[in-house]
Structure 1
Amino acid sequence: MLSLDYIRQNPTLVKAAAKNKNRQVDIDKILKLDEKRRTLILKIQKLREERNLLAKQKVDDNVINRGKQIKENLKMLEKELTAVEQGLNNLLYEVPNPAANDVAIGTDETDNIVVKKYKEPTIFDFKPLDHLDIGEKLEIIDVSTAGKVSGTRFAYLKNEAVILEFALVQFALKILINEGFIPVIPPVLIKKEITDKLGYWQAGGNEDYYWVHEPQESQGLYLVGTAEHSIVPMHMNEVLLEKDMPKRYVGFSSSFRRESGSYGKDTRGILRVHQFDKVEMVSFVIPENGDKEHDYLLSLEEKLFQALQIPYQVVKMCSEDLGFPAARKYDIEAWIPSQNKYREVTSTSTTTDFQARRLNIKYRKKGETQFVHILNGTAFAIGRTIISILENYQQPDGSVIIPEVLRPYTGFEKIAKKS
């Protein structure tokens, strides 16, 4: 959420920022409601002051009658103020976080900027298979049985793929815990009010997430789309101490998304599924360290993928590709040989103080409180990382070599066909 002071002082900038994210927001209406709100507050304050003065006067008919008038007027004005504030708050929730000044203005992925490449794309002297063909031949990915049990876009990981998943989790946790991150296994169900405050569900975004209806609870609960959805709100309505900053968490959880609109190769195998596991990073920092922290999270994502020795590129997203709460976002895209292209495997975003305002997360500095900056980053999206390993490490005989850094966790160097 943007502060009203900021919107009042920068209406043209806020309008342009919303347009750059392709969001339709009535900033003029916000300013009018804000003016009306302040007028009502002033009237209410004056009536309360008059009521306090009346209480000190000698009681007579005039005082009694005026007291009744004030009571009725206050009741009417306070009711009107509540309605105005609700309408204003609803509109404020529709205002996206402006893109950072260093973000390119653009409308789709063609306007994103490749800022770095690591290694040349993997080249084979045989025709490489895609991850599903590899997984089925090695008996480690089973989508047909999952389809029978759960429907389309689900999968069973089996045999060595299970060991590989938890090798990735253990490797990421070891690296990040050594960096000072606090490990967390968070809830995968969150309240609707939390989804509203996070800002990911704005402008129809809730349609991509699963809602679990509880008859006895009218609000119900949402399944998280990533661990950050339940880690970021951990400090809602809290004031952190500056000496404890930065506060960093690494969480592991299953994640759930409808993935509506996906088609073609994206629905094959485990690239875009409804349930997947992730290791996610979340940082709470003081504002002046926000950009530095963003670079740090990106460096950790790169460190993890460089350890796997998988070719990738870093892409800086344009304004319309940022999403509602993000001010800046980088994707790491791993090389996928079967598609002859790079595909997203991790991302890292800064939401500046946008989510902190909505969740009321502050820190105390020299007796004063300010909103923190909140950042997030994917350590490993497990399914997509497994895809990149299977495809880049496949061998002519159909086996897959395990990246050297993971072998202490898997206990084996290769996944071979079952005899």
Structure 2
Amino acid sequence: MIDLRALRENPDLFRASQQKRGASTEAVDALLSADSDHRSALQSFESLRAEQKGLGKQIAKASGDEKQALLDRTKTLAEEVKAAEARVTATAAAFEAAGHAIPNLVADEAPAGGEDDFVVLKEVGETAVPENVRDHLEIGTALGLLDTERGAKTSGARFYYLTGDGAMLQLAMLNLAIQQAVETGFTPMIPPVLVRPEAMEGTGYLGEHADEVYYLERDEMYLVGTSEVPLAAYHSGENLGELSQPVRYAGWSSCFRREAGSYGKDTRGIIRVHQFDKVEMFVFCRPEDAEAEHERMLGFEERMLQKLELPYRVIDTAAGDLGSSAARKFDCEAWVPSQGRYRELTSTSNCTTFQARRLNVKYRDESGRNAVAATLNGTLATTRWLVAILENNQRPDGSVAVPAALRPFLGKDVIEPK
């Protein structure tokens, strides 16, 4: 939910944000109209209720024709109050729907445009396409690390088994991510992966991303596509006190995505799948600290990529490619030799007060007043990283060199054909 006071004071700011996203500005006008209607309905209802309460005292003091007139008014007023209350309920629903239709205010620094209008901030490492390059599926299948055929047999398309050293490689990578998170001040968490609708709605995943979410209708529960959702909801309805230092969590969970609308895209291997594991950073902080925290989280993601010796680039995502909750997002994309291009491995988003406003997460400012916190999220490691690790470390003899940072977890320097 956006800041309504800011919207009322400067609606053009939100219209400009919508234009920057390539979205309609009509949603802003619809919310302003719904806000006005709801406030008018509330004012009318409260006025009638005040009159209704005052009539009782007047009737007690009146007599004769005056008393009868007041009694007659009581009957008609009861109907008016009932109708006014119904209007409040209807306008509240319309107001809520209009509010949820507007995404977060885009940061001034975010590039305008769509998916292809990102800005490259840096490139790190050497990119090359080896002679006789193999993709991660060929490598993983030959080394007994990955089995997509049996994954499809068991669960359908876009499912897989990680087997043997493949499973160990993922565990090594995720353990390294948790180790780094703890060393840098994050509290490790293993959150629920089934959440109630209010948690999914509060984080902004039931808007434009609703088709991506698995819903268990019988239980009215959702499978999360990221542990961002349960971590954000962890403090819902709470006050975090002074919040003089950011509250930082690192969640390890399995994640589930329907990949609706992606039919025919990245069907080979494990680039785009329905289930994967991930370590996700999540932060609550004061709004004035959010920008610096965002840069800090990007630094942590880069540190992980450097530990795994992966060539990568950092992009500033364009406004039209931001999720509804994000004001600004940085992606780290690793080089994938078999495709001769970069592919996204991590993203970190500054969601400002958008999610915390929906989830009612507050803190106390310097004046002791309650204020809305800011939230941020960022990926430290996920299953897709195996694609870049296998392809960038493949060797002519069919083996794969294990990045030095993972060797203590994996217990070997090289994964060799059996």
TM-score range, shorter chain: over 0.9
Report the equivalent of 1:262: 262
Map of 1:154-193 to 2, 5 A cutoff?
A: 154-193=159-198
1:88 deviation in Å? 1.0
Relative to the length of structure 2, the TM-score reads 0.94
Map of 1:65-104 to 2, 5 A cutoff?
A: 65-104=72-111
Q: Does 1:301 align with 2:301?
A: yes
1:264 deviation in Å? 5.4
Q: In the aligned structure 1, how far is the partner of 2:319 from the partner of 2:175?
A: 35
SS in 1 for 2:82: helix
Report the equivalent of 2:42: 41
1:19 deviation in Å? 3.0
Instruction: Check conservation: 1:139, 1:159, Cα contact below 8 A.
Output: yes
CA deviations 1:209-242 (Å, max 9, x no partner) are 211221xx4xx21111111122111111111112
Q: In the aligned structure 2, how far is the partner of 1:40 from the partner of 1:150?
A: 52
CA deviations 1:357-415 (Å, max 9, x no partner) are 1111111223211111110000001x211111111111111111111111111111111
RMSD value, Cα: 1.7
Q: Does 1:116 align with 2:122?
A: yes
Unaligned runs of 5+ in 1: none
Which stretch shifts more, 284-293 or 169-178?
169-178
Q: In the aligned structure 2, how far is the partner of 1:345 from the partner of 1:26?
A: 33
Q: In the aligned structure 2, how far is the partner of 1:192 from the partner of 1:385?
A: 30
Amino acid at match of 2:170: E
Q: In the aligned structure 1, how far is the partner of 2:52 from the partner of 2:398?
A: 85
Q: Does 1:210 align with 2:217?
A: no
Which stretch shifts more, 239-248 or 366-375?
239-248
SS in 2 for 1:280: strand
Report the equivalent of 1:394: 394
SS in 1 for 2:5: helix
Q: In the aligned structure 2, how far is the partner of 1:189 from the partner of 1:102?
A: 35
Map of 1:254-293 to 2, 5 A cutoff?
A: 254-262=254-262, 266-293=266-293
Report the equivalent of 2:327: 327
Q: In the aligned structure 2, how far is the partner of 1:231 from the partner of 1:38?
A: 33
Report the equivalent of 1:222: 222
Q: Does 1:361 align with 2:361?
A: yes
Instruction: Check conservation: 1:23, 1:96, Cα contact below 8 A.
Output: no
Instruction: Check conservation: 1:312, 1:335, Cα contact below 8 A.
Output: yes
Q: Write out the 4+ residue segments of structure 1 that deviate beyond 6 Å after TM superposition.
A: none
What is the identity percentage for the equivalent residue pairs of Structure 1 and Structure 2?
A: 41
1:112 deviation in Å? 0.4
Amino acid at match of 2:384: R
Amino acid at match of 1:138: L
Q: Does 1:351 align with 2:358?
A: no
Q: Does 1:50 align with 2:55?
A: no
Report the equivalent of 1:153: 158
SS in 2 for 1:47: helix
Which stretch shifts more, 80-89 or 34-43?
34-43
Instruction: Check conservation: 1:228, 1:376, Cα contact below 8 A.
Output: yes
1:37 deviation in Å? 2.1
Instruction: Check conservation: 1:186, 1:231, Cα contact below 8 A.
Output: yes
Unaligned runs of 5+ in 2: none
Q: In the aligned structure 1, how far is the partner of 2:199 from the partner of 2:8?
A: 27
Relative to the length of structure 1, the TM-score reads 0.93
CA deviations 1:31-81 (Å, max 9, x no partner) are 222222222222233333333433444354344333334333222111111
Instruction: Check conservation: 2:129, 2:338, Cα contact below 8 A.
Output: no
Q: In the aligned structure 1, how far is the partner of 2:166 from the partner of 2:346?
A: 20
Amino acid at match of 1:93: H
Report the equivalent of 1:26: 27
Quick one: structure 1 residues 364 and 303, their matched pair in 2 at CA, closer, same or farther if it must change by over 3 Å?
Answer: same
1:191 deviation in Å? 1.7
